Chains A and B, each alone.
Chain A
Amino acid sequence: MKKDGVKLFVDGKRLDGRELDELRPIKMEVGVLKRADGSAYLEWGENKIIAACYGPREVHPRHMEEADKAIVRVRYNMAPFSVPDRKRPGPDRRSHEISKVTKEALESVVLTHLYPKTVVDVFIEVLQANAGTRCAGITAAALAMADAGIPMRDLISSCAAGKIEGKVAVDMMGAEDNFGDADLPLAISPQKKEVTLLQMDGNFTRKEFEEAFNMAMKGCLDVYEIQKQALLKKYEV
């Protein structure tokens, strides 16, 4: 969505004062819900997101059950009040797609063979949205899963990069997302730096893509450091 006349840089800095390669402030807290087996709360810029993990548990409906492994299910949901125009409750096409790619981003690290015939359910609730909710949701979900004790070979960390006024930048906020030229959300398993989610829309040259890709990768690794601290903090003595 391009619009002329909207300035995304003021005195060489982004609208919220950031440099091109600078993330918004991020806060994470693990173990915020009693009922869930694992949970996490995340504030990423103006995004406020809570994630819960239940499982491994019995699969309902039964026909989804797999004889030799656990399945992973993800539900991404936005609260009606999380966006400026009230969102009608319930899933729409966008949230269905995000749920699907989020599930695929997360399941590659889960040791599903340890719990055959079960499901690991992940629920992501967006309470306040301001660009980048899928990356924030994936990041929070990975924490909730680790907190639940789900056996995983790695965490998953996520961050986007994009292009605003022709310049490649990391982690776009609301106005940049609305009026920018391209968006590239990425999720990785940080140990091997393997890509588990990649989407893109807008317009990049081959060279710009590589720059944005590297910037998003670097962002994921920064996010990973914050995730680690959040997990350790829950059990701090």
Chain B
Amino acid sequence: MLGVIADIKKDYIKKLLEEGKRLDGRGLDDYRPIEIKKDLYATAEGSALVSLGSTQVAVGVKMILGEPYSDMPNRGVLTTSAELGPLASPTFESGPPRPPAIELARVVDRGIRESGSIDTEKLCIVEGEQVWIVFLDIHVLDYDGNLFDASTLACISALLDAKMPKVEDGKAIYGERSGSLPIVDTPISTTYAKLGSAIAVDPHLEEEQVLDARLTITTTKKGEICAMQKGEGGAFTAEEVLNTIDRGIEKAKELRKLL
């Protein structure tokens, strides 16, 4: 595999996008095929494996009992982490999470947190003393572009799949379940790549390697915006930002039907 991107590849991808075409035959507003599998890993309270084209992301939900934050004594805690392990790409390395993995985890986390997706008050066992801590672990298996959208879909799917362990005398009983997690909203992220004057949704790897800038928009069930992230060195005009938001809000409605 070539490690360096040839200029002629970038030029060709850009030329195609500006004509409204893409290497894999998609239109600028088309996602790759999406598949969501749930309830895969019995050791997790909830799990999902999402494939977005050839990108594959596994997410597991683990729940443990712990102390709440002092400023939110009656709310459960959400912790999101992402591992871009070396299995998923020749460019990923072993070791502690680097900025791209941390950015991914934080953007996904913001979408879930700010949409109020989880009713964290229902995760309180004893106010100020004991609450559920929900760990969302994003495990990327195959990186072929657009980890943001694949990860958000996988996280929401895993949360919807999760069954809470029973609590007896302040202890979690993992063998027995006491119902689903209190999920009240389902945030969906849509990510756009800008190359030249073209802006396309769900960039695959070859587009991601040459894009100028990236914009992720996460929206709630009501169609409100709950998280955004612009990435890479290029820039968007104000008009492009507003247009892309409109496209993202519409697209999220379609994706939400897959949950």
A: which residues have CB within 8 A of B? Answer: 33-36, 46, 48, 50-52, 54, 57, 75, 77, 79-86, 89-90, 121, 123, 125, 127-130
Contacts and interface: CB of A to CB of B under 8 A. Distances in A.
Nearest to B44: A81
Interface in B51-68: 54, 56, 58, 60-62, 64
Contact of B87 (A48, A57, A82, A123): A123
Contact of B43 (A33, A57, A84): A84
A57 B93 CA distance: 14
Given A50-B141, A82-B43, A86-B64, A123 B96 contact: no
B231 interface: no
Contacts of A85: 64
B93 to A, nearest CB: 8
Given A123-B87, A129-B43, A34 B142 contact: yes
Contacts of B96: 90
Interface size class of B (residues with CB under 8 A): 20 to 34
B43 A123 contact: no
Nearest to A83: B43
Given A35-B88, A36-B142, A75-B86, 12 more contacts: A33-B56, A48-B40, A52-B87, A80-B135, A81-B47, A81-B60, A81-B135, A85-B64, A123-B85, A125-B87, A127-B139, A129-B43
Contacts of A35: 54, 88-90, 142-144
A51 B85 CA distance: 12
Contact of B60 (A33, A79, A125): A79
Nearest to A58: B3
Contacts of A54: 86, 90
Nearest to B54: A34
B94 interface: yes
Given A84-B174, A90-B96, A127-B139, A57 B41 contact: no
A125 B139 contact: yes
Nearest to B41: A128
A103 B254 CA distance: 46
**4 tightest A-B contacts by CB?**
A81-B60, A81-B44, A86-B62, A34-B54
B92 to A, nearest CB: 9
A46 B42 contact: yes
A57 B90 contact: yes
B117 interface: no
A156 to B, nearest CB: 19
A81 B62 contact: yes
Nearest to A52: B87
Contacts of B90: 35, 54, 57
Contacts of A129: 43
B86 A48 contact: no
A35 B90 CA distance: 7
A80 B62 contact: yes
Nearest to B94: A75
Interface string B135-147: 1010101111000
A178 to B, nearest CB: 14
Nearest to A82: B43
Contacts of A52: 87-88
27 contacts: A33-B56, A33-B142, A35-B54, A35-B90, A35-B142, A36-B87, A36-B142, A52-B87, A52-B88, A54-B90, A79-B58, A79-B137, A80-B135, A80-B139, A81-B41, A81-B60, A81-B61, A81-B137, A82-B41, A82-B43, A85-B64, A86-B64, A89-B137, A127-B41, A128-B40, A128-B42, A128-B44
A81 B64 CA distance: 12
Contacts of A80: 60, 62, 81, 135, 137, 139
Interface in B191-229: none
Contacts of B61: 81
A79 B61 CA distance: 11
Interface string B64-92: 10000000000000000101011111100
A79 B139 contact: yes
Contact of B144 (A34, A57, A77, A83): A34
Nearest to B93: A60
Contacts of B56: 33
